[in-house]
């Protein structure tokens, strides 16, 4: 199981992260919450992948966690974007399963994708969004995909 890092709590297991998300939502149960998962990557000597999990109390702030891994150098943008999406779907699937077990399947789960209508990734939007929606999640692209383009991106540097 993956390890996550909380900027305020340090290293956490998946289970500890999940419990922390529940505590965050129990603290102020009224209001709307969104669970956002986004991944980004950066290529240097090897490829750094970061997946961020953000629990957003809409209009009231958020808490986030991230997982970082390193892989061989992947220069193909298409391959990287597909792998980022697969990482996000994997984490989203695990979270959705746990939420369902706890009777919280109504929580909005969004996957933020590092693709947008400007730039090289515009050719991939249809396939990547299809991959996400085909798995039952809402897909969000740039410029609205802050989970990938802001939070995850921050930790790939």
Q: pLDDT per residue over 93-133, tens digit each?
A: 999 999 999 999 999 899 999 999 998 999 999 999 999 99
- pLDDT class of 50 with cuts at 50, 70, 90: very high
46 or 29, higher pLDDT: 46
The residue extents of the domains of the chain are: 3-154
Burial annotation 97-130 (CB, 10 A radius, 16+ → b, else e) = ebbeeeebeebebbbbbbbbeeeebeebbeebbe
Mean per-residue pLDDT of the chain: 95
Q: Cα separation of 123 and 127, whole Å? A: 8
- Chain-centroid distance of CA 118 in Å reads 21
Question: How much is the average pLDDT of 136-150?
Answer: 95
What percentage of the chain reaches a pLDDT higher than 90?
92
Q: What is the mean pLDDT of residues 87-92?
A: 98
Average pLDDT, stretch 69-80? 96
Q: What is the mean pLDDT of residues 52-79?
A: 96
Phi then psi for residue 48, to 5 deg, are -100, 125
């Amino acid at each position: 199981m993956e390890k996550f890092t909380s900027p305020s709590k340090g290293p956490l297991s998946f289970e500890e992260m999940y419990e922390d998300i529940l505590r965050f939502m129990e603290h102020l149960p009224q209001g709307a919450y969104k669970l956002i998962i986004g991944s980004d990557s950066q290529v240097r000597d090897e490829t750094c992948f970061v997946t961020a999990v953000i629990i957003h109390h809409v209009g009231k702030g958020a808490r986030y966690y991230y997982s970082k891994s390193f892989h061989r150098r992947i220069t193909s943008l298409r391959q990287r974007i597909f792998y980022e999406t697969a990482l996000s779907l994997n984490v989203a699937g695990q979270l959705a399963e746990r939420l369902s077990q706890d009777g919280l399947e109504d929580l909005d789960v969004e996957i933020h994708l590092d693709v947008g209508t400007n730039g090289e990734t515009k050719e991939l939007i249809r396939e990547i969004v299809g991959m996400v929606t085909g798995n039952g999640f809402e897909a969000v692209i740039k410029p609205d995909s802050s989970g990938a383009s802001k939070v995850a991106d921050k930790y790939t540097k």
